[in-house]
Amino acid sequence: MTRLGLVGAGYMAHTHAAALRSLGAEVVGVCATDAAAAERLAQQHQLQLYRTLDELLEAVDVVDLCTPTDTHEALTVRAARAGRHVICEKPIALSPESGERMIAACEAAGVRLFIALVLRFFPQYRAAHEQVAAGAIGRPELLRLMRTTAPPAFGGDWYFDPERSGGALLDLLIHDLDYARWVAGDVRQVYALTRQQGQRSYAQVMLSHHSGALSLVEGGWAYPDGLFRTSLDLSGDGGVIEWNSDAPPPLRVFEPPGAPELAALPALNPAQDPYAAELAHALHCLEYGLPFEVTPQDALAALRLSLAARESVRTGQAVTL
């Protein structure tokens, strides 16, 4: 069994701790700058509390970084130099240069880096991607993705500091930007608009893919407290796949009249924990030396899309990649 150590004690650290426990993973302990929060997490999940990162690194094979984005580079470099594999929450970093330094540090040390872009492991999104890859809707032409929630009420105010989180475009909508690229391929141009009112923000991002497909990604921190909605609508020249979090069916496929009947969709379990699926994948690949489905280069590409959207908002112009 691979010995894991959690770094951070906020919402995502609790989420990862619960997911890892469900997998039966050997989570040795936790270390965080907030000593009181770290002690609470350690008690809740029966983990050893480490006072310093160096002590934790000595006790584990893999570190799971659940910390603010502006800390990712420094923590990854320290872990890599200690010879430890790194699982790191998205976004990979605040700039491509920072992300590239993380990748280079891990490569130089002979360790691996997995960036946790968890949307690829949500059952509805994963099944939709598999259907597109199998040709169920023909060639993708128009993708519409929405993700809207309330402003984060956990983890402190760092979310609202763009110098630490990058704002909603990097912290939230990066999921759907990555998904759009996963489904329709690399992006040629990005155009975005945002509306900000206090801590609430909403964005619309248009992606022009090299394949000719268009993606409209929208959402943000705009809903009242406790409300969260997400949806996908993937249109191709041979059909449509759609799903939204309010609808009872997990996924629906529409075919043109006279089209042959498609194979049945895989059974989806709405209760399946995508975080457990994501971490199980990462640990399996680490154990057997297999390639990650989400590569560090995928994480860099998603970051570049988010940053291009921010630049488009700033200039009012489309950004060509």
pLDDT of 59-76, one tens digit each? 999 999 999 999 999 999
Rounded distance, CA 213 to CA 302, Å?
17
Instruction: Give me the mean pLDDT over the 226-235 stretch.
Output: 95
pLDDT given at position 153: 83
If pLDDT is split at 50, 70 and 90, which confidence band does 143 have? Answer: very high
Whether the CB-CB separation of 166 and 94 falls below 8 Å is answered with: yes
Q: Report pLDDT for 238.
A: 95
Surface-to-core class of residue 96, CB atoms within 10 Å of its CB (0-12 exposed, 13-18 middle, 19+ buried)? middle
Q: What is the pTM of this model?
A: 0.92
pLDDT at 262: 37
Domain ranges of the chain: 3-116, 120-271+302-320
Region 271-279 average pLDDT: 88
Examine the pLDDT at 14 and tell me if it is beyond 80. Answer: yes
Mean pLDDT of 25-50: 96
Same topology between domain 3-116 and domain 120-271+302-320: no
Is 191 a residue whose pLDDT tops 70?
yes
- Among residues 36, 3, 19, 51, which one has the least CA distance to residue 281? 19
pLDDT of residue 246: 87
Predicted local distance difference test score (pLDDT) of residue 261: 38
pLDDT band at 272 (very low <50, low <70, confident <90, very high): confident
Whole-angstrom CA distances from 218 to 70, 196, 298 are: 24, 14, 20
Domain at 3-116, CATH from 1.10.3080.10, 3.20.20.80, 3.40.50.720, 3.30.470.20 = 3.40.50.720
- Per-residue confidence (pLDDT) for residue 251, from 0 to 100: 57
pLDDT at position 154 is 73
Q: What is the mean pLDDT of the chain?
A: 92
CATH classification number, 120-271+302-320, choose in 3.30.470.20, 3.30.360.10, 3.10.20.600, 3.30.390.50: 3.30.360.10
Share of the chain above pLDDT 70, in %: 92
pLDDT tens readout for residues 113-139: 999 999 999 999 999 999 999 999 999
In this prediction, residue 24 has a pLDDT band, given cuts at 50, 70 and 90, of very high
Mean pLDDT of 138-167: 91
